[in-house]
């Protein structure tokens, strides 16, 4: 060992010792913060499925590759980080001696070949990612970047570290080639040999380059250890457990889509019959009241902004960005952590749990952070502004796009639950809707005895449950389908088509009440459970004696479809629920309905969030429309899982949109840009919102918004009255 090698060895050992000590301290701190969260015992079930999903999502990059170029580049960088960590380890042998290398595998040509090409592709990948970040930098004039709000220096730092580590990997190999210390042939390692041909035969160059590589790597570790909220770096470790502990690993939709997580207290679903606000947790009022998985979510955020780029609120000038919401909660949690770890915190009555002695040595900044309300305006020092909380439509675009499976919607609704149930703080106009749900069983406050008015004048009898001996499908009409003028046309069209196809069905009529979706999404779990339990009891009675596969429900509203199919199981209601477009597609393919009259003028289809993104029903409505128009559907740029929300979900249907551009107008402009004369929908909320948008643009005579069922009815029965133009106003 020469003098150069002695110096490089000592320096490598010293910086590594410091980096490892800081990293261990950082990991212990992060673990302590995450463990402050509430229990989530359900996250430990079915470890086999969780392991499979984690491996598929990480190794296969299934979520990242939804953005193909970024996904491919990131895959090469990820593989390079994992595999080429072995070359960082090898550098510790190379600082000691120029001919050093990894024991055993370091001499294998296949190892040299693999690491060579992983390094080359890693260089290409990081170059692409750096170019994308620069092209989308927030300070670029006229650019609404997905990186707005991200800590940009951290992203640049991480990317430059990756680039330099890869470069010095080839420099080390180049010096080995130049000094005849390299083990691999030219055909296996062409770039290394090319670099070697350009370098001098400096024997100490191997050890010096290896030291530089180690210093770069350990500097990265030191920097991220001193910045535990640096998600752009820590996600490469935290993504694995975050994906492993996702809510529903086997679900086709993203974790956190479909059903909402039940309202929990101490790791158990809350029973309102026995719940006590002084003993049980009603939603989330303090950051430590999120589950440990929630705190892991916040820690894992990569700040990539994919969620932000897809969010309808953010894209129309609202203050909500799913990314910035998560980052605010993350930063608040870690700033408050010293106070919480010292024993501080408020109990459910608002009393301080810690003694003065426990808090005596807590940093004053942590104490100040502890006094911030979780939800509050800037003047109140709130962590999350109320306008941010109430801008969410729960469309799930953020959850769909998140590459590390953060469950944004669950966290937003948990905060809403506390605001509604304990603080009674929510947009005032939504109060009318909630009172109507409690008193009338529907959001519009319409009389219950008018639920069957849509059946009048159909020309055939619509059977009621209890009046017929048997039926194949229970037709869940829904509140909109029973009371709202446009939606009643859809209800009549579906009933007409089912009758035409000879499908045996029955309705509950006045026995049906609201599914509870708007109450649950706004955060009023109490009203949701009241309505849901009533419906579950009614449905169980209607299906008494039938096995689940024969407890079939068809629903025209995706919100009812989602609630009955995904959420009623939490309350003892197990049913097979289909959307009307699924049933109609089946009837057409089976030859029971035959489209005869093509619908011309061009048709584009708007994917409802709760049908498409939340429940993955993309093909059925398109099949129905394709058969009806007997041609190609004109797709909007944002369609299927990337469909843009109409603005009505998350109970936003009953709240005023006072900030920024109206979401429905943005969507209507996109639909009209296709040139199609018909905008087909599969949801009564979407129908209302898009009709309002079309009328607001003054295009009511040129563009028509109509349900898929009505499009099919026009084709099957061209003279059917239910196919008339749907331009009436919303029923009061």
d(CA 711, CA 325): 40
Residue 247: left if φ>0, alpha if ψ -120 to 50, beta else—which one? alpha
Nearest to 119 by CA among 155, 90, 154: 90
**Residue-level pLDDT at 253:** 60
% the chain with pLDDT above 90: 78
409 near 394, Cβ under 8 Å? yes
- CA torsion sign, 345 to 346 to 348 to 351? positive
**Residue-level pLDDT at 731:** 37
Helix then strand count (H, E) for the chain reads 29, 9
Residue 468 to residues 465, 476, 501, 506, 630, Cα–Cα distance (Å) = 6, 16, 18, 8, 37
**Residue-level pLDDT at 725:** 43
How are beta strands 704-707 and 552-555 bridged, if at all?
A: unpaired
**Residue-level pLDDT at 726:** 42
Exposed (0-12), middle (13-18) or buried (19+): which is 550, by Cβ within 10 Å? exposed
pLDDT tens figures, 300-314: 999 999 999 999 999
Q: Hey, what are 131's tokens?
A: 């170019």
- Residue ranges in the chain whose pLDDT is less than 70: 141-143, 252-254, 720-732
**Residue-level pLDDT at 439:** 93
Nearest to 604 by CA among 587, 621, 589: 621
Rg of the chain over Cα atoms, rounded to whole angstroms, equals 30
The pTM assigned to this predicted structure is 0.93
Residue-wise DSSP of 362-392: S-HHHHHHHTS-SB--TTTT-SB-HHHHHT-
């Amino acid at each position: 060992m020469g003098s150069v090698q002695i110096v490089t060895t000592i320096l490598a050992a010293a910086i590594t010792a410091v980096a490892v000590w800081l990293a261990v301290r950082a990991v212990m701190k992060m673990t302590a913060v995450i463990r402050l969260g509430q229990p989530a015992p359900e996250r430990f079930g079915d470890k086999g499925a969780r392991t499979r999903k984690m491996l598929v999502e990480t190794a296969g990059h299934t979520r990242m590759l939804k953005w193909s170029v970024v996904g491919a580049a990131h895959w090469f960088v990820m593989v390079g980080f994992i595999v080429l960590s072995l070359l960082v380890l090898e550098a510790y042998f190379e600082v000691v001696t120029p001919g050093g290398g990894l024991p055993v595998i370091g001499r294998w040509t296949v190892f040299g070949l693999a690491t060579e090409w992983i390094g080359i592709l890693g260089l290409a990948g990081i170059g692409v990612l750096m170019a994308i970040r620069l092209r989308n930098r927030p300070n670029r004039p006229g650019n609404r970047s997905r990186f707005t709000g991200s800590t940009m220096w951290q992203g640049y730092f991480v990317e430059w570290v990756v680039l330099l580590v890869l470069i010095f990997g080839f420099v080390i190999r180049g010096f080995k080639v130049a000094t005849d210390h390299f083990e691999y042939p030219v055909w296996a390692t062409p770039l290394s040999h090319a670099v070697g041909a350009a370098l001098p035969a400096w024997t100490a160059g191997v050890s010096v380059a290896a030291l530089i590589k180690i210093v770069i790597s350990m500097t990265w570790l030191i920097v991220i250890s001193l910045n535990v909220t640096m998600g752009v770096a820590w996600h490469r470790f935290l993504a694995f457990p975050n994906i492993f502990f996702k809510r529903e690993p086997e679900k086709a939709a993203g974790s956190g889509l479909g059903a909402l997580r039940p309202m929990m207290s101490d790791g158990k679903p809350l029973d309102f019959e026995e719940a006590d606000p002084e003993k049980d947790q009603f939603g989330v009022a303090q950051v430590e009241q999120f589950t440990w998985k929630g705190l892991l979510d916040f820690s894992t955020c990569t700040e990539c902004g994919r969620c932000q780029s897809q969010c309808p609120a953010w894209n129309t000038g609202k203050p909500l960005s799913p990314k910035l919401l998560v980052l605010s909660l993350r930063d608040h949690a870690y700033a408050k952590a010293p106070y919480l770890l010292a024993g501080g915190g408020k109990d459910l009555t608002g009393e301080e749990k810690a003694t003065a002695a426990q808090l005596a040595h807590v940093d004053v900044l942590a104490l100040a952070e502890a006094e911030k309300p979780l939800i509050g305006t800037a003047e109140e020092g709130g962590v999350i502004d109320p306008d941010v909380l109430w801008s969410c439509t729960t469309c799930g675009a953020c959850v769909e796009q998140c590459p590390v499976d953060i469950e944004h919607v669950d966290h937003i609704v948990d905060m809403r639950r506390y605001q509604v149930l304990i603080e009674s703080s929510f947009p005032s106009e939504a109060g009318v809707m909630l009172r109507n749900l409690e008193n009338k069983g529907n959001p519009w406050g319409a009389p219950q005895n008018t639920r069957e008015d849509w059946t009048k004048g159909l020309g055939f009898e619509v059977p009621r449950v209890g009046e017929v001996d048997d039926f194949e499908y229970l037709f869940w009409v829904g509140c909109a389908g029973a009371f709202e003028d446009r939606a009643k046309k859809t209800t009549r069209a579906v009933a007409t088509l089912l009758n035409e196809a000879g499908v045996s069905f029955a309705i509950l009529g006045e026995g049906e009440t609201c599914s509870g979706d708007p109450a649950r999404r706004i955060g009023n779990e109490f009203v949701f459970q009241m309505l849901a339990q009533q419906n579950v009891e009614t449905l169980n009675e209607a299906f008494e004696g039938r096995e689940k596969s024969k407890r079939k429900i068809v629903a025209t509203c995706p919100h009812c479809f989602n609630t009955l199919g995904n959420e009623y199981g939490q309350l003892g209601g197990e049913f097979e629920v289909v959307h009307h477009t699924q049933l109609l597609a089946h009837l057409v393919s089976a030859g029971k309905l035959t489209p005869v009259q093509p619908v011309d003028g061009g048709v584009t289809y708007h994917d409802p969030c709760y049908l498409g993104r939340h429940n993955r029903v993309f093909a059925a409505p398109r099949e129905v429309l394709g058969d009806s128009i007997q041609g190609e559907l004109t797709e909007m740029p944002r369609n299927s899982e990337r469909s843009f929300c109409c603005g009505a979900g998350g109970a936003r249907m009953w709240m005023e949109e006072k900030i920024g551009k109206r979401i429905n107008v943005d969507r209507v402009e996109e639909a009209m840009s296709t040139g199609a004369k018909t905008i087909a929908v599969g949801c009564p909320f979407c129908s209302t919102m898009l009709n309002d948008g079309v009328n607001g643009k003054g295009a009511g005579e040129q563009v028509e918004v109509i349900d898929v069922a009505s499009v099919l009815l026009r084709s099957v029965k061209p003279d059917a009255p239910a196919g008339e133009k749907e331009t009436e106003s919303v029923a009061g």
